[in-house]
Every structure is written in C-alpha cells, then in structure tokens.
Amino acid sequence: MFRKKAPEPERSPLPVRAVSAAGELARRGVDMTRDTVHKELLERAKSQEALSDDQIWRRYQFRHLAAFITIPALLLGTASIAAAYGTGLMRSEQPKVVCQPLVVPAPAMGSFKVTVLNASGQNGAGHVVGRDLSRRGFVVGDVSSAPRNLYVKAPARIYHGKAGLDQALLVAQTIDGAELENDGRPGTGVALVIGADFTKMLPAPPPKPPSQKSYRVNVYNATWRPGLARATLTELTARGFSPGKQGNDPDKSFLPNDVAVILHGPDADLAAAQVQRHIKGAVLKEVPRDNLTIDVILGNLYAGVIPAAEMPPKQAVRKDPPPTVSRPCK
C-alpha cells in the first residue's frame, strides 16, 4: 500500500572542498596583510627613532607650511575659476553674434502703388483699409476681394518683389502682425491681403490736410440770383483751389434756409473742411462718392465768401520726422 521513498542521489563532496579551500585562502590573505602592515609600521617607527630632535622639528614645520600654502591656494583657485565662468571668460563655445536689422530711410508713400485684397471674411474691410492707407499718404490702386483659394491666417500678408522690400516694410507698419512674402513680382508695387486675424489698423498721427490743388471744387447755384456760382468759383480759384464746374444745381436742390451745403465723399472730408473755412455757415454732407471732388450748393442765405482779410490764419503744417524701415537680417 505504501511505496518506499526513493533514496536521494549522492552529492559530490567537491563543493565542500571548494568552500574550505576558499576560506583557507582568505585567512592566508588576511594574515599576509596584517604582517605587511605591521612590518611597514615597524620600519616607520625605526626610521622615526633614528631622526634627531632638530630633524623632527623641521619635518613638523614643513608639513604645517605646506598645509598653510596649499589650502588657501586651492580655495583661491576654485574661486577664480568660478568667477571666470561667471563672467564668461572661460567658455568652451564662442559667443553668438546677434544680427542687427539695417535701418534705412523709407521710400516716399506716394512713390508706389498698394493693391488691397480682402481675404478676412469681413464685409467692407478692404474699403476701410484702403481708405486709411489713402489718408496716410499711400497711393491705393485696386480694392477688391481676394481669390477664394488665397487664405491668410495672419492679420495681413504683404506680397512684394525684390525691388519692393522697403515699400512692403513701410506698409507693414500700419497693421500689427503683418507678414511679408516675396512672390517675385516686378517693380516696387505691393499687394496687401487682409487676413482672418485682422481687427484694426495701427494708430497713426492725424492726417495732414490735402493740397488745395489736389482736388476740384464745383459750385452750383440753387437760388434765384443769377451769376452767383460763377462769382463764387472765381473767388475760390483766386484763393488756390482747382476750379471745376459751375452753373445751376443739376439736382435742383431747394435750400431756402441754408447758406450752402458742401457735398463730399468718404475720403474727401478733409478737403471739404478746407472749403468750409471760406464760407461761413456752410454745412458738410457726406455722399456716396469715391473721389475727392467737392460740390458747393449755394442756398438762399448765401451772401458770399468770407473776405480774405477776415479769414482765420492757417494752421502750421505739422513736420513729422522722416520715416524709416528696418530691413531684416539675412
């Protein structure tokens, strides 16, 4: 019923012998080390006993002098190395040369043409930007929507050619975050594409009044008095305005209680204000018009332009410092 337990196999006595041999070698090594150290100490003691008192005193002084010189030298050397690294005198790598942009005089704002394309998705953004650029002195060409396949994420992207880099840099100063791209176009003209992140133009100094010779003034008579338009236009021409048309009002306005109504487009408000200075009581009226032409409609209360001797003095023309642009590092 019960099976006998199988006898365990006989183990080899080799491991026991190996352990015994290793222990014997360790004891011998310890004994040899003790003997060696003991022998070295005996020899040092004998050599010490052979020295005279004067020799022992000199050796003692030498050790103290060596410690006095070595320890401060190590501390001073460590501090010097740390200071050298701190001031940049001990650096393995050469300092990087920082490129400085080249600042040059900007081209005249009226010396090149700016095309405005609206890719922002905001209705009327192209007209707003074009009008603002015109008031700053830029020559704005075509203002239209950008092609559908042209997407710009930045507030604006300004395309230019090799000869139009400075012109593009000057236009970029009007919109924060505007980016430049050289598309190889000839000439100095640039194209400003309004992007999806556009919000507004950067602030600019108040625009300077336009030259009186840069726009035309039409004078129309809406009263029953003949020759009124011709006489008024002659007087305005003598004061430096460019003459336009004169005659009866083509719209046949009825102004029984008005001195004069000055019609102007959105971009000609400053020009209309110049004409208004010469006609006391005239009112300004903005109309849909994309040019700088001014229409003066004379009403029943009109009595003539302000005499030249009674005209208020002209405001001094503001002198702005010449603009500059910073060419990027190459």
Burial category of 45 from C-beta neighbours within 10 Å (exposed 0-12, middle 13-18, buried 19 and up): exposed
Q: Which pLDDT does position 71 carry in this prediction?
A: 63
- The yes-or-no verdict on residue 23 having pLDDT over 80 is no
313-328 residue pLDDT tens: 877 777 878 899 999 8
The dihedral built from the CA positions of residue 270, 275, 281 and 282, taken in this order, carries a sign that is negative
Which pLDDT score is estimated for 4? 47
Express the helix, strand and coil content of the chain in percent, nearest 5 each.
Answer: 40, 20, 45
Residues linked to residue 179 through DSSP beta bridges, in sequence order: 157
Cα–Cα dist 23/27, whole Å = 6
> pLDDT per residue over 31-44, tens digit each?
656 667 567 666 76
What is the spatial distance between Cα 4 and Cα 284, in angstroms, rounded to a whole number? 128
Q: Residues with Cβ < 8 Å from 156, sequence gap 6 or more?
A: 172, 175, 177, 178, 179, 192, 193, 194, 195, 198
User: Which of residues 105 and 9 earns the better pLDDT score?
Assistant: 105
Report whether pLDDT(233) > 70.
Answer: yes
At residue 2, the pLDDT reads: 37
- CB contact at 8 A, 267 and 136: no
**Angle formed at CA 217 by CA 260 and CA 262, multiple of 5 degrees:** 25
What are 86-134's pLDDT values in tens digits?
A: 665 555 566 677 788 899 999 999 999 999 999 999 999 999 999 899 8
- Give every CB contact of residue 142 below 8 A, 6+ residues apart in sequence: 115, 116
Predicted pLDDT of residue 267: 83
- 3 state SS of 117: strand
